Amino acid sequence: MLLLAACNRPPVPEPDQPPEPRAAGHSAASRALHEPLDKAKAVEDATLKAVEAQRQAIEAAGG
């Protein structure tokens, strides 16, 4: 019975404070994830601006 008690791991103590979160954007994985998203958002913004400019040009032409 003593041998079984010796094989158990001691419980991990709970830390007093949770670990500090890492700053966003500093890891390579974070950059690899966010760079394509940022590019897509920039393309979307440019597309929406072009659509609005085209709509205004059509209205100005009497359409």
* Full domain range(s) for residue 37: 27-63
- Residue 45 clears pLDDT 90, i.e. is over it: yes
Residue 22: inside a domain: no
Residue 36: inside a domain: yes
Residue 37: inside a domain: yes
Enter the pTM of the model. Answer: 0.51
Residue 17: inside a domain: no
**If pLDDT is split at 50, 70 and 90, which confidence band does 29 have?**
confident
- Residue 8 clears pLDDT 70, i.e. is over it: yes
Q: What is the pLDDT of residue 4?
A: 58
Residue 10: inside a domain: no
Q: How far is Cα 55 from Cα 63, in angstroms, rounded to an integer?
A: 9
How many domains, in total, are found in the chain?
Answer: 1
Residue 38: inside a domain: yes
Instruction: Say how many residues make up the chain.
Output: 63
Q: Which two tokens stand for residue 37?
A: 């998203």
Residue 60: inside a domain: yes
